[in-house]
Amino acid sequence: MKQFKITENDANQRLDKFLKKLFPRATRSLIYKFNRKDKIKIKFNGSEWKFKKRDNEYKLQFWDEIKIFLSDKDFDELSKKEEVKKVNKNDKFNKKDIVYEDNDLLVINKNSGINVHPWDHKTKESNVIAQVQDYLWDKLNSLTFKPSLIHRIDRDTSGILMIWKTKNLLTRLVNDFKDHKKVKKTYYAIVLWKLPKRKGTIKDKLLRIENAKNENKVKIDNDLGQTAITHYHTLKEHIFQTEQWVLILTEVEIEIETWRMHQIRVHMASLWNPILWDKTYWNKKLNSFFERNYWLKRQALHAWKIEFLHYGRDKKMKFEARIKDDLVKFIEKIKS
């Protein structure tokens, strides 16, 4: 027999759904059978003396107590989860990349070249989820909830990522991200050439291309596409000469009102100001040149700042992720 108290992260879910998460190797019919055979009993929120059988639809409350009448062998076998991939020493989450952390929230400055989610269970490549779970492992106190990403950024984009540690606040913030009006996201980018205006707005609609075989999954289509709004603001311009070309590179601040897939990359390319080293939406010959001569090996796009309402603290918060060293060193090199 096992006995647990329901934490805040496990509360407010149906009993059968809680049990399915607790016992991932059990069928739903087996879980119903456990309840039917009185193997699951609950004491309501410390206010009752006896443990009682509850319906499958019963919604667990914070500080409920639950008894599960299974043998240790059966419990261990049914609750066995997929093994969390061990993070290699060199791939471990670097605490220097923590922008902010409290009991509810972890904000990190993601490196480029790493996926936020695992793409293939067979791959040995690390990902942000694995790193975060490795970092937070000893701090978790939930039977069924794992820290979750609130949003995502591309593999080759660096910058701010937010991971929520508590389920009830995660749900509220996810809704804010879907609505967009309560969250402000600002990016830093290096683009080719001089922008048409120092400040401007792009409103071309974007259409996702289904079944695309490569990353070129988005195009401008003002008839069939979805609304997309991007604001840009020139920060600095750099003019320099190589053996082959005279080039202008522009550092730019970009704010997005809508969060379409590849929105910034496609919108900036539509102005003939593509993100530097964008493998999909610009010139591969120039990309190769910058890699050979300036050691730049990824798109020059960085999720820079974010503003949102922190429900755990009931106040608006703003964070900034320092621009990564590879982009800083690249700018220093072209200036010299």
Q: Which residue numbers are catalytic? A: 154
How many residues does this entry show for the chain? 336
Which residues are within 8 A (CB) of 242 and not within 5 positions of it... i.e. 6 or more apart? 289, 293
Q: How far apart are CA 324 and CA 300, in angstroms?
A: 10
Greatest CA span in the chain, whole angstroms?
A: 84
Q: Which two tokens stand for residue 278?
A: 């964008």
Exposure string of 74-100, with b = 16+ CB inside 10 Å and e = fewer, is: ebeebbeeeeebebeeebebeeebebe
Decide if 159 contacts 137 (C-beta within 8 A): no
Decide if 256 contacts 187 (C-beta within 8 A): yes
Q: How far apart are CA 322 and CA 302, in angstroms?
A: 9
Q: What is the dihedral of CA 268, 269, 271, 272, to 10 degrees?
A: 130
Partners of 101 in the β-ladder: 106
